[in-house]
Amino acid sequence: MTQVTRPTWVEGAAGSLFDIDNLPYGVFTHDDEPPRVGVRIGDQVVDLAPVAASEMLEIAHVFEEPSLNPLLALGRPAWSAIRTWLTALLTDETERDLVGPSLVPLAEVAMRMPFEVADYVDFYCSLDHASNVGRIFRPDDEPLKPNWRHLPAGYHGRAGTVVVSGTGVRRPSGQSKAPGAAGPGYGPSSRLDMEAELGFVVGAPSELGSRVGVDAFADHVFGVTLLNDWSARDIQAWEYVPLGPFLGKSFATSVAGWVTPLDALAAAHVDLPGQDPEPLDYLRVGPGAGFDIDLEVVLNGETVSRPPYASMYWSPAQMLAHLTVNGASLRTGDLFGSGTISGPAPEQRGSLLELSWGGTEPFTVAGQERTFLQDGDTVTLRATAPGTGGGRIGLGEVTGTVLPG
Amino acid sequence: MTQVTRPTWVEGAAGSLFDIDNLPYGVFTHDDEPPRVGVRIGDQVVDLAPVAASEMLEIAHVFEEPSLNPLLALGRPAWSAIRTWLTALLTDETERDLVGPSLVPLAEVAMRMPFEVADYVDFYCSLDHASNVGRIFRPDDEPLKPNWRHLPAGYHGRAGTVVVSGTGVRRPSGQSKAPGAAGPGYGPSSRLDMEAELGFVVGAPSELGSRVGVDAFADHVFGVTLLNDWSARDIQAWEYVPLGPFLGKSFATSVAGWVTPLDALAAAHVDLPGQDPEPLDYLRVGPGAGFDIDLEVVLNGETVSRPPYASMYWSPAQMLAHLTVNGASLRTGDLFGSGTISGPAPEQRGSLLELSWGGTEPFTVAGQERTFLQDGDTVTLRATAPGTGGGRIGLGEVTGTVLPG
């Protein structure tokens, strides 16, 4: 899958995690200028609006917007054409005079929420995560529900509380019921958790009443972002029967400031680990439906887990086909999460619930015994994947600090 | 609560369900003109944009929009001021020359989706409905889950598939598992249902990390619409554990073309039937927290049920307080549904699941035995409530016809 591309002329980018084969998109502000679309290369942001305007690109206006949505709405052929144009600009030395003045150091910009979320759906696609949660929440029951191996289970989350990396996350309050208590009590969550996920960002919409088959995934999905599905386990445990997670999740979901285009992950395709039983026709995928993306969960600067996305049972194309099999339409800005990514090994678990086994097995961070999140804790997710240039590319990190409730 | 208001000069409106004390808002199109905001009086629509412009209202621009959202965003003081202004216009004979040319017969307009849905949450607030569903879906278990009497249970639905009254509803396909079958199958739902609900429309937003107490309900909620939460029971039964309803609901939710302002329901307040145990502090409400709204479920022209909203266990102010108790923010256009409205009597059940007791007790419509919905069936919800003028007001109806899958 290695593509022959000339090296970029942008200093410091070649060989980095944000080399010419990456080129994620985000929305940035610089000084007091209005937010607009940028592409990251190395430690620089290309301010696309002036470059596209000076080249008189027909779609230049999409880069002047405070969200990626107009770009997302253009669809796959336009996304590919823009990527080809950008690659040429950033590798052709003769374009340096044109583009150079529009490079802004990453350290000087603030990243905004990159897209307006239309609907947000969260799936539950890790066999290891679902099994662990089942064992922790329902120790006397089969860990997996009977439907789990037949469909990628999912639910709708709150689109309005998806926030960009760096946003503080206030500890939620709510109802929970202590084991053995007569009734529920009210107060700040004492089991605040994180979940390491990938989020898939839909660009091209679909019609109500139509379906998006597994083969149409790349026509609709623009790219991928790291996602932290903050979770209040005590609130969730009390509320989730029978309507599923609600307030235990809806207070905040963090996404990275950068969306990595699917094109940048062309060399990261891997086969799924295997599905047994074979899924129904509309969920059948061929080789290479998975993604080999390595995540890292960092708590207060210390790596506490390394979840491998390649271990996921259900692929993103299957999630999308399932999401639309009933005729539900897609809108530009729809976001769907993979669910917590946990690998089979204990050090690959993507939530503190699992890392501390429901709070019963504390783990050590910076010499302290830890279970769930404390006020002031900072959680950062990072990830890398094979790039088309033969090295690795980085996904934009997502970070958040817990504020007191 | 009867208010002394002069009668309206609009012919045919006085004494109707859409008299001067109602004045619901919607978005309409007439001929080939762009969609804009109108108010219904009698069988006429007041085209508000030209009237407000000629009166040089500062907020006239909100009526030129293709959705109510800019009006919703203005907040309670502006909503009240506009209602006062409209009431004067439509009762003062001397305004007839100004307003008359902007009256459009209802029969000549098409109603559009009245607002852009931000997040859609559906609650589960009827004790009778929740008990019935529990008995039907889990016959060997307690009908109510332990949390039901402690919190208004809810979940997020799909905002992008909320459609306006009159939109055809395509029968969804998906996975379901027949009783006793070895595994799931795929096909069109054979247990397509409807649910009679009220939907509450949020106007004024709230900050992430803040809470909207029960007393702030009217500051944030603009009004009410009838809502049909179409449900595929076979898909729902197979998928809903443990993450709640998803594809069994997400194919379509219908709302009326008219949103009734809370002000029009000032005479409809009633006490809740009673809550035992007393809810936690943040959910405590005083007298008059309920609404005396009588619904009617009409299947192919025949009334099959008369659900009384006054029988609901949890009030809308409690739903909103619960929805935000964890700090989740509100956005203009947020919609929350009451959940199916079922009264204690069999003829007050708000879903076919209940009316046919899970399909086991067919009922008769137009001489035919019926359980779930057939292709071509038309479901219409209607409702009336006490108006402030001493008579009754009507909510705009919501109707939809089932299209083959």
Structure ipTM: 0.97
B276 chain-A contacts, CB cut-off 8 A: none
Q: Which fold has domain B120-403?
A: Fumarylacetoacetate hydrolase; domain 2 (3.90.850)
Of B287, B294, B298, B302, the C-alpha closest to B387 is B294
Pairwise CB contact (< 8 Å): B186 & A157 = no
Cα nearest neighbour of B167 on chain A: A208
Distance from CA of B133 to the nearest CA of A (A): 11
B94 is in an annotated binding site: no
Report the length, in residues, of chain A. Answer: 405
Per residue in B283-307, pLDDT tens?
999 999 999 999 999 999 999 999 9
Q: Is A61 a catalytic residue?
A: no
> Distance between CA atoms of A187 and B282, rounded to whole angstroms?
11
The values of phi and psi at residue B197, to 5°, are: -140, 165
Q: Residue B158: which of A124, A175, A328 has the nearest Cβ? A: A328
> Distance between CA atoms of A373 and A169, rounded to whole angstroms?
11
- The mean pLDDT of B375-391, rounded to a whole number, is 97
A384 is in an annotated binding site: no
B186 is in an annotated binding site: no
What's at B86, amino acid-wise? L
The values of phi and psi at residue B106, to 5°, are: -55, -35
Task: Give the pLDDT of residue B1.
Answer: 45
A249 is in an annotated binding site: yes
B174 chain-A contacts, CB cut-off 8 A: 325-326
Pairwise CB contact (< 8 Å): B153 & A239 = yes
Per residue in B348-381, pLDDT tens?
999 999 999 999 999 999 899 999 999 999 999 9
Q: Residue A280: which of B156, B175, B208 has the nearest Cβ? A: B175
- For chain B, the farthest-separated pair of C-alpha atoms sits apart, in whole angstroms, at 74
**Which residues, numbered 14 to 53 in chain A, qualify as contacts with chain B under a Cβ-Cβ cut-off of 8 Å?**
none
**Which residues, numbered 112 to 141 in chain A, qualify as contacts with chain B under a Cβ-Cβ cut-off of 8 Å?**
118-119, 121, 124
Report the length, in residues, of chain B. Answer: 405
| Sign of the dihedral defined by the CA atoms of residues A217, A222, A227, A230, in that order | negative
pLDDT of chain A, 405 residues: tens digit per residue: 455 679 999 999 999 999 999 999 999 999 999 999 999 999 999 999 999 999 999 999 999 999 999 999 999 999 999 999 999 999 999 999 999 999 999 999 999 999 999 999 999 999 999 999 999 988 999 999 999 999 999 999 999 999 999 999 999 999 999 989 999 999 999 999 999 999 999 999 999 999 999 999 999 999 999 999 999 999 999 999 999 999 999 999 999 999 999 999 999 999 999 999 999 999 999 999 999 999 999 999 999 999 999 999 999 999 999 999 999 999 999 999 999 999 999 999 999 999 999 999 999 998 999 999 999 999 999 999 999 999 999 999 999 999 999
> Distance between CA atoms of A398 and A163, rounded to whole angstroms?
10
The values of phi and psi at residue B221, to 5°, are: -95, 125
> Distance between CA atoms of B70 and B59, rounded to whole angstroms?
9
Selected from 3.40.50.720, 1.10.1060.10, 2.30.110.10, 2.30.30.230, the CATH number assigned to the domain covering A25-112 reads: 2.30.30.230
Of A159, A224, A165, A153, the C-alpha closest to A194 is A165
State how far the alpha carbon of B34 is from the alpha carbons of B50, B72, B109, B245, B340, in Å. Answer: 13, 20, 12, 37, 35
Task: Give the pLDDT of residue A1.
Answer: 45
Pairwise CB contact (< 8 Å): A174 & B325 = yes
Task: Give the pLDDT of residue A4.
Answer: 62
Strand B335-337 to B120-123 pairing: parallel
Pairwise CB contact (< 8 Å): B155 & A156 = yes
Q: Give me the torsion for CA of A229, A137, A148, A262, rounded to 10°.
A: 20
Collapse the DSSP code of B102 into the 3-class scheme (helix H, G, I; strand E, B; otherwise coil) and give the result. Answer: helix
Pairwise CB contact (< 8 Å): B239 & A159 = no
Average pLDDT along chain B: 97
Secondary structure string (H, E, C) spanning B334-401: CEEECCCCCCCCHHHCCEHHHHCCCCCCCEEECCEEECCCCCCCEEEEEEEEECCCCCEEEEEEEEEE
Task: Give the pLDDT of residue A2.
Answer: 52
DSSP class per residue in B212-268:
--GGGHHHHEEEEEEEE--EEHHHHHHH-TTT--STTTTT-EEE-S-BEEGGGGTT-
B69 chain-A contacts, CB cut-off 8 A: none
**Which residues, numbered 159 to 218 in chain A, qualify as contacts with chain B under a Cβ-Cβ cut-off of 8 Å?**
159-161, 163, 170, 172-175, 177, 183-186, 208-209
Collapse the DSSP code of B63 into the 3-class scheme (helix H, G, I; strand E, B; otherwise coil) and give the result. Answer: helix
Collapse the DSSP code of B319 into the 3-class scheme (helix H, G, I; strand E, B; otherwise coil) and give the result. Answer: helix
Tell me whether A334 touches chain B (CB under 8 Å). Answer: yes
Distance from CA of B243 to the nearest CA of A (A): 4
Instruction: Tokens 């145990």: give the residue.
Output: B277
What is the percent of chain B where pLDDT is above 70?
A: 99
A229 is in an annotated binding site: yes
B340 is in an annotated binding site: yes
Contacts of B237 (CB under 8 A, 6+ apart): B137, B176, B177, B248
Task: Give the pLDDT of residue A138.
Answer: 86
B170 chain-A contacts, CB cut-off 8 A: 208-209, 327
Pairwise CB contact (< 8 Å): B154 & A277 = no
Which of B243, B282, B330, B334 best tests the A interface by mutation, with the highest count of A CBs <10 A?
B243
Collapse the DSSP code of B316 into the 3-class scheme (helix H, G, I; strand E, B; otherwise coil) and give the result. Answer: helix
Decide whether A25-112 matches A120-403 in CATH topology. no
* pLDDT of B111 higher than 90: yes
Cα angle value B261/B271/B298 (rounded, 5°): 60
CB atoms within 10 A of CB A280: 17
Cα nearest neighbour of A277 on chain B: B183
| Residue ranges of domains in chain B | 25-112, 120-403
Q: Which residues is B335 bridged to in the sheet?
A: B120, B201
* pLDDT of B93 higher than 70: yes
Tokens read off for B247: 């594809």
* pLDDT of B3 higher than 60: no
Q: Residue B155: which of A155, A175, A322 has the nearest Cβ? A: A155
B138 is in an annotated binding site: yes
Active site residues of B: 129
Cα nearest neighbour of A242 on chain B: B244
The pLDDT confidence band at residue B137, using thresholds 50, 70 and 90, is confident
Q: Residue A325: which of B160, B173, B331 has the nearest Cβ? A: B173
Are the C-beta atoms of B130 and B54 separated by less than 8 Å? no
Cα nearest neighbour of A334 on chain B: B160
- The mean pLDDT of B51-63, rounded to a whole number, is 95
> Distance between CA atoms of B20 and B10, rounded to whole angstroms?
9
> Distance between CA atoms of B404 and A225, rounded to whole angstroms?
38
> Distance between CA atoms of B323 and A280, rounded to whole angstroms?
36
First to last CA, chain B: 48
Pairwise CB contact (< 8 Å): A208 & B163 = yes
